Amino acid sequence: MNNDSRAADFSAMSRLSADIDLDAEGKATGFVRVPHSVHRSAYGWIPIPIVRIKNGTGPSVVMQAGTHGDEWEGQIGLGNLIRTLEPRHIRGKLVILPSANFPAAMAGLRTSPIDEGNLNRLFPGDPEGTITQQIAYWIEHKLLPGANYSFDFHSGGSSLTYIPSALAPRHDDQARMAKVIGMLKAFGAPVSYIAAVPQGFPVPPPSPTRLTEIGGDDYYVYASDGGLFEPLVDLGAEVKAGQPAARIHFHHTPWREPETLAFKRAGLVLCKRVPARCERGDCLFHLATDIAG
Ligand SMILES: [Zn+2]
């Protein structure tokens, strides 16, 4: 194989491979094998669970979770789906990758303990890179091509808890923005919000959701110092500008008066950091505000 033909066939460059046929009919469970030679296992591989469910022709959908290993809700949800969904329930194909960054998931961490890789920040990946870069490359070049829709389930992980919600990208183009809002209504999460994220989605028909958006820095409350974070409001609260958001208590000097932080603007509390410890610069809360839709 010369260099030109290698460059043309990106998927062939990946060291990763699924041990099930992702295009065959019916339901199959298996693993994406990530070659990883370590002291404990010289010729070993990391097994990333993967499931294919296919019934004839129809849309091709990819669902993944565990891109951040400590975000447990999506991983449990997709596990439940794997155990209950059968080919007769669908038309088309669904491929489920419930713990995409499997090493991170096994460690209960946002990032991989092997290379500190944050899978969500490593696309389109590198076939010759670190383990997490190789996983990103395989997902981008082998799993996603040919899929009509893809869903990536995230949550707040170890440091944040979110109100159940759907996130979609903000577009300058009004027609595209209208499609995104249509998609959010179709998905029907209790709250939907729009922020600057890199990817777009296609559309379907409407159902009720509260449409909100995240604006600039004033939507966020950050820790001004390291300490013990005491939240003063809960998820779903409607807050006013200037309202106290949190107190930071000082572990080393508990006799020191805690620092009180306030919201910079009014809004819905969409996301809250999980107590206890915070460091200066950690996000403690972020707000969303309603938009017309
Ligand atoms: Zn995440």
How many CB atoms lie under 10 A from the CB of residue 180? Answer: 19
- Please give the distance, rounded to the nearest whole angstrom, from the Cα atom of residue 56 to the centre of ligand 1: 32
Distance, in Å, from the CA atom of 207 to the CA atom of 196, rounded to the nearest integer, reads 23
Q: Give the CA count within 13 Å in the CB-facing half-sphere of 118.
A: 4
pLDDT at 41 over 90: no
- Please give the distance, rounded to the nearest whole angstrom, from the Cα atom of residue 206 to the centre of ligand 1: 26
Distance, in Å, from the CA atom of 50 to the CA atom of 27, rounded to the nearest integer, reads 11
Predicted pLDDT of residue 277: 82
Asked if the peptide bond before residue 124 counts as cis, ω within 30 degrees of 0, the response is: yes
Phi, psi of 53 (to 5 degrees): -130, 120
Distance, in Å, from the CA atom of 113 to the CA atom of 117, rounded to the nearest integer, reads 8
Q: How confident is the model at residue 271 (pLDDT cuts 50, 70, 90)?
A: very high
98-138 confidence digits (pLDDT tens): 999 999 998 889 999 999 999 999 999 999 999 999 999 99
- Please give the distance, rounded to the nearest whole angstrom, from the Cα atom of residue 71 to the centre of ligand 1: 6
All residues with CB under 5 Å from ion ligand 1: 68, 71, 154
Distance, in Å, from the CA atom of 247 to the CA atom of 224, rounded to the nearest integer, reads 10
DSSP string, 80-120: HHHHH--GGG-SEEEEEETTSSHHHHHHT-SS-TTT---GG
pLDDT at 7 over 60: no
- Please give the distance, rounded to the nearest whole angstrom, from the Cα atom of residue 136 to the centre of ligand 1: 14
- Please give the distance, rounded to the nearest whole angstrom, from the Cα atom of residue 256 to the centre of ligand 1: 35
pLDDT at 205 over 60: no
Residue 39 tokens, joined: 């002291």
Cα-based distances in Å from 176 to 129, 170, 171: 35, 9, 6
Distance, in Å, from the CA atom of 85 to the CA atom of 115, rounded to the nearest integer, reads 34
- Please give the distance, rounded to the nearest whole angstrom, from the Cα atom of residue 73 to the centre of ligand 1: 11
Could you tell me which residues are beta bridge partners of residue 158?
A: none
Predicted pLDDT of residue 172: 86
- Please give the distance, rounded to the nearest whole angstrom, from the Cα atom of residue 290 to the centre of ligand 1: 24
- Please give the distance, rounded to the nearest whole angstrom, from the Cα atom of residue 169 to the centre of ligand 1: 15
- Please give the distance, rounded to the nearest whole angstrom, from the Cα atom of residue 100 to the centre of ligand 1: 11
- Please give the distance, rounded to the nearest whole angstrom, from the Cα atom of residue 103 to the centre of ligand 1: 15
- Please give the distance, rounded to the nearest whole angstrom, from the Cα atom of residue 23 to the centre of ligand 1: 28
Predicted pLDDT of residue 152: 92
Predicted pLDDT of residue 264: 97
Radius of gyration of the chain (CA): 22
Give the angle subtended at the CA of 110 by the CAs of 105 and 115, to the nearest 5°.
85
- Please give the distance, rounded to the nearest whole angstrom, from the Cα atom of residue 64 to the centre of ligand 1: 11
